[in-house]
Structure 1
Amino acid sequence: MTVETPLLAYLLAAVYLALQVFFIARALLRPYRQPVSRLAWVMVMLIAPVVGMAAYVLVGETNIGRTRSERKRRVIEELPRPPRHEGNPPERYVPLFRAGMSINGYPSSGGNRAELLADSDATIARMVEDIDAATANVHVLFYIWLADDNGLRVVEALKRAAARGVTCRVMADDFGSRAMIRSEHWKAMANAGVMLARALPVSNPPISALWGRIDMRNHRKIVVIDNAITYCGSQNCADAAFAVKPKFAPWVDIMTRWEGPVVRQNQHLFATDWMGHGCDDISALIDAPLPPTHGPVVAQVIGTGAMVRPSAMPEIFDSVINAARNELIVTTPYYVPDETIQAALCACAYRGVETTFIVPQRNDSWIVSAASHSYYEELLDAGVRIYEYVGGLLHSKTMTVDGDISLIGSANIDRRSFELNFENNILLYDPDLTAEIRARQQVYLAASVPVTAPDVARWPRRRRLWNNTIAMLGPVL
């Protein structure tokens, strides 16, 4: 053995130790991370250093890349803010809308009209009808867009609109809509004059991972037509049969159609994505004169993602839950909460609020299913009523409070929606619209089975061990 061999070994060991210290320090210094998450990363990198450091490079930080971040931040700073429209909720709900305004700067605005659509097919039919009536511009953004019946109906409507001179701008997530983006239908839209963009493109995963986290996705569902109509809810551009995961079908979604000042807020959110990806400037549409509207709904768009604090969406969920005095109903397909939301739901039930929680019985994500079950016992002990929907995959993301307030949109109650996805929700005050959403929640409830404390107590120990182990990994993601 030469003298150089031990020296080289010492050098490699020093480099290895330096890297380990660097990544542990980086995990400890990362802002907005809960202490349990920091601890989880430190333990992983101490127990399995090579795997831990490699995992941290890939999924340790919420970073879409410096160039994208700077461009998107510049767009957000320079875009004009949507004009405010008079109209406030009752005083007890004003702090709730202030919390929403702290995220994007969108104020609560009155004068909105909203329509709760019957189902997935009815939503697409109404959307196509509006696109066919468009005279100026159509803006579309979806996380998942499939080349099925409903997906292609929207494709054809956009091609018709572009052919008659309507400016059509379309953005789809590069991962969620990868089959559509790589299909002949995407090319056909481009040939018809539709302007296209891939949200968060991933061209070469190993290389892309060096510049930003590749599993961050644009999960938004936004349609804005003629700067006068918008849609918001949980539905992707696809059939309820959802061909990519048919064994969980039907996908049960909820969508709303809007007119009024809230349209400008959704337009602004779309513009941050569109212009943030380097596409053409549409800022003039943000502060264009509003069409006359005299609707009863006070509403506010809430958009979250990598460019706002990662606690933003959990804060809104917490605020809505804490606003409840008599009744809270929650539906979500994916429940992997942070500690504050779990505590807020339990506290809601403890203070005597009738708290109902509805999730799908069969989930398309076995990881989420296992993790969510780990929270059942604590919820049930607090008095939360848990129901599992058996009529398909309940994909609706809703909250209703005391028959007055509703929250509806794309965000799930899980860490992916909190820290990794770009999401869009609408917070609203209107007893009539809330009653309609609550009636839809009752439809879900009628197709659900209750989960009781004795049911959970009968789960075998191995199942509890599995659920709790999977939930424990949540802070690392």
Structure 2
Amino acid sequence: MHDSAVIAWLLFLAQASVQLVFIMRALLRPHREPSSRFAWVLVIAVAPVIGVLAYVLFGEVNLGRKRVERLRAAFGALPAAEAVAGPSAQAEIPERFGPLFRVGYSVNNYLPVGGNQARLLPDSAAAIAAMVADIDAARHSVHVLFYIWLTDESGRQVVEALKRAAARGVVCRAMADDLGSRTLIRSAHWRDMAASGVRLAVALPVGNPLLRPLKGRIDMRNHRKIVVIDNAVTYCGSQNCADAAFAVKPAFAPWVDVMARFEGPVVRQNQHLFASSWMAETNEDLGALFADPLPAAGPGFVAQVIGSGAGVRYSAMPETFIAMMSAARRELVITTPYYVPDEPIQAALCASARRGVATTIVFPRRNDSWIVAAASRSYYRDLLEAGVEIREYVGGLLHAKTLTLDGEMTLIGSANIDRRSFELNAENNILLHDAAFTRAVRARQQLFLDAGTPVSMAHVDAYSRWRRLWNNAIAMLGPVL
């Protein structure tokens, strides 16, 4: 046998061995759906070099061992999650909604607590104005965490408010995700905040992109949007610290978000969630924040923080969504910009409509992710056949992540109904039971519905064969993407 033939056989055996190793890894990884295992095995087998490289970069939900240890150590050093907001308000929850809060409790051990109040902000500019006003009125502490924080008008307003607060002696801590907020973090505004006394931290630093896969996936991000002021006020919703014009993607503007301002015991839970992220990235212990006694509980509704992420229980957000879909009796309305569900969520949404619940979901007509847009539309036929009403919002990029249930329950926050949000991102949401606030959210959802174009079976039937092929092919790769 010629030397060249021997070398060729050795290279073939080496390649086959590497493929086999990564196929076994794909098959042995825990918390993975069979469809995901099959997709990865297929990619590695059909395209060995590209497939193995893709698996190294994106094949495993790996936050990094040291980072997970720091996150768990942070939760361990903080007061127990059950205790931070006072006793449970279980007795005030209607029996049929109790299981929803039990699912929420299983994620972070935050109890449903009563005595909360909330106000839905009219729009993005009003939300920023309210945050700035609260920061300007702060007396003790201001904590801010955003996935995307731009240097536009809204971003600079918050920067200046933090600088003013720090100058008058308020302890200000600001955290931003290293990938989503890279422009701000590398700008003079970030340095100015530090010089003004604002304590800064970068969430999930990227570092050297070439070495990053050795420490965890580069696309695992802190997607949370949390503002906590004086342990008394918090904000929760879909809005990043940016103008609705969203300068980084102006072609899809305006970004249409929903943000709410909360007061009451649930604020302490958001504070606890912020503290865990802060302590995982810094050496500062924030346990003293929870030493102050809780104020006497006043009138208000029951609420609970749900903070998901790779360092928390697997499948937390999918189970939350499925539980709410399954609990609906009369009406279920959802708004989400990104819809790439797993099979149980698609089945739960279809089942909701089939049992007679008025089930509606609203997507943006134009999506900033062409991959998600294609994948989402591959699910339209099954949803429509089940009786789900689909609308596509045409007034900009509908970025609001809301769910209302039977006019009584609301879920609001940062989580999308897609695999990235479920498996890769750290998210924050608030689940609450209150007819008045739910009416306000439902009214906002109705504005999105009214500004949306109904999607009918005729629309889906009109898709060309190539468009259907494209949509379904992208959706098939969902477990890999």
Any residues of structure 2 matched to 1:48-197 within 5 Å, and which? Answer: 48-81=47-80, 82-88=84-90, 89-197=93-201
Any residues of structure 2 matched to 1:286-365 within 5 Å, and which? Answer: 286-365=290-369
Partners of 2:326 and 2:317 in 1: how far apart?
14
* Pairs aligned (count): 476
Q: For the structure 1 residues 439 and 25, does the alpha-carbon distance in structure 2 shift closer, same or farther, using more than 3 Å as the test?
A: same
Distance apart, 1:9 and its partner CA: 4.8
Partners of 2:6 and 2:68 in 1: how far apart?
42
Q: Secondary structure of 1:193's partner?
A: coil
What residue is the counterpart of 2:24 in the other structure? Answer: 25
- How far does the alpha carbon of each residue in 1:66-118 deviate from its partner, in whole angstroms, 9 at most, with x for none? 21111111212332122433423111100110001001000111111111111
Bigger Cα displacement from structure 2, 261-270 vs 284-293 = 284-293
User: Are 1:260 and 1:295, in contact at CA under 8 Å, matched by a contact in 2?
Assistant: no
411, 426, 436: which is aligned to 1:407? 411
Any residues of structure 2 matched to 1:435-474 within 5 Å, and which? Answer: 435-474=439-478
Structure 1 gap segments, 5+ residues each: none
- How far does the alpha carbon of each residue in 1:269-311 deviate from its partner, in whole angstroms, 9 at most, with x for none? 1111100112411012135312334132100000111112331
Amino acid in structure 1 at the alignment position of 2:26: A
User: Are 2:392 and 2:455, in contact at CA under 8 Å, matched by a contact in 1?
Assistant: yes
Amino acid in structure 2 at the alignment position of 1:474: G
Q: Secondary structure of 2:211's partner?
A: helix
Q: Secondary structure of 2:479's partner?
A: helix
Distance apart, 1:186 and its partner CA: 0.5
Distance apart, 1:7 and its partner CA: 5.6
What residue is the counterpart of 1:390 in the other structure? Answer: 394
258, 261, 285: which is aligned to 2:262? 258
Amino acid in structure 2 at the alignment position of 1:130: D
- How far does the alpha carbon of each residue in 1:309-364 deviate from its partner, in whole angstroms, 9 at most, with x for none? 33110000001111100000000011111111110010000000000111111111
Partners of 2:53 and 2:334 in 1: how far apart?
37
What residue is the counterpart of 1:433 in the other structure? Answer: 437
Bigger Cα displacement from structure 2, 290-299 vs 345-354 = 290-299
User: Are 1:409 and 1:424, in contact at CA under 8 Å, matched by a contact in 2?
Assistant: yes
User: Are 1:224 and 1:263, in contact at CA under 8 Å, matched by a contact in 2?
Assistant: yes
Distance apart, 1:455 and its partner CA: 1.2
- How far does the alpha carbon of each residue in 1:144-200 deviate from its partner, in whole angstroms, 9 at most, with x for none? 001111110000000000111111111000011010111110000000011111111
Partners of 2:455 and 2:142 in 1: how far apart?
44
What residue is the counterpart of 2:279 in the other structure? Answer: 275
What residue is the counterpart of 1:476 in the other structure? Answer: 480
Corresponding position: 1:211 with 2:215:
yes
User: Are 2:15 and 2:48, in contact at CA under 8 Å, matched by a contact in 1?
Assistant: no
Distance apart, 1:50 and its partner CA: 1.1
Partners of 2:459 and 2:126 in 1: how far apart?
37
What residue is the counterpart of 1:47 in the other structure? Answer: 46
Partners of 1:66 and 1:12 in 2: how far apart?
33
Same amino acid, percent of matched pairs: 64
Q: Secondary structure of 2:214's partner?
A: coil
Bigger Cα displacement from structure 2, 62-71 vs 94-103 = 62-71
Q: Secondary structure of 2:166's partner?
A: helix
User: Are 1:221 and 1:234, in contact at CA under 8 Å, matched by a contact in 2?
Assistant: yes
Amino acid in structure 2 at the alignment position of 1:193: G
Structure 2 gap segments, 5+ residues each: none
Q: Secondary structure of 1:359's partner?
A: strand
Partners of 1:426 and 1:253 in 2: how far apart?
16
Partners of 1:83 and 1:113 in 2: how far apart?
14
Partners of 1:367 and 1:60 in 2: how far apart?
18
Cα RMSD of the aligned pairs, angstroms, is: 1.3
User: Are 1:85 and 1:111, in contact at CA under 8 Å, matched by a contact in 2?
Assistant: no
Amino acid in structure 2 at the alignment position of 1:78: A
User: Are 2:85 and 2:113, in contact at CA under 8 Å, matched by a contact in 1?
Assistant: no
198, 203, 227: which is aligned to 2:202? 198
Q: Secondary structure of 1:352's partner?
A: coil
Amino acid in structure 1 at the alignment position of 2:410: S
User: Are 1:138 and 1:169, in contact at CA under 8 Å, matched by a contact in 2?
Assistant: yes
Q: Secondary structure of 2:53's partner?
A: helix
Partners of 2:355 and 2:2 in 1: how far apart?
74
User: Are 2:306 and 2:431, in contact at CA under 8 Å, matched by a contact in 1?
Assistant: yes
Partners of 1:62 and 1:408 in 2: how far apart?
25
Distance apart, 1:17 and its partner CA: 2.5
Amino acid in structure 2 at the alignment position of 1:282: L
What residue is the counterpart of 1:34 in the other structure? Answer: 33
269, 285, 288: which is aligned to 2:289? 285
User: Are 1:228 and 1:291, in contact at CA under 8 Å, matched by a contact in 2?
Assistant: no
Corresponding position: 1:235 with 2:234:
no
Amino acid in structure 1 at the alignment position of 2:189: H
Partners of 2:10 and 2:477 in 1: how far apart?
34
Amino acid in structure 1 at the alignment position of 2:35: V
- How far does the alpha carbon of each residue in 1:18-62 deviate from its partner, in whole angstroms, 9 at most, with x for none? 221111111111111000000110111111111111100000111
TM-score by length of 1: 0.97
User: Are 2:150 and 2:183, in contact at CA under 8 Å, matched by a contact in 1?
Assistant: yes
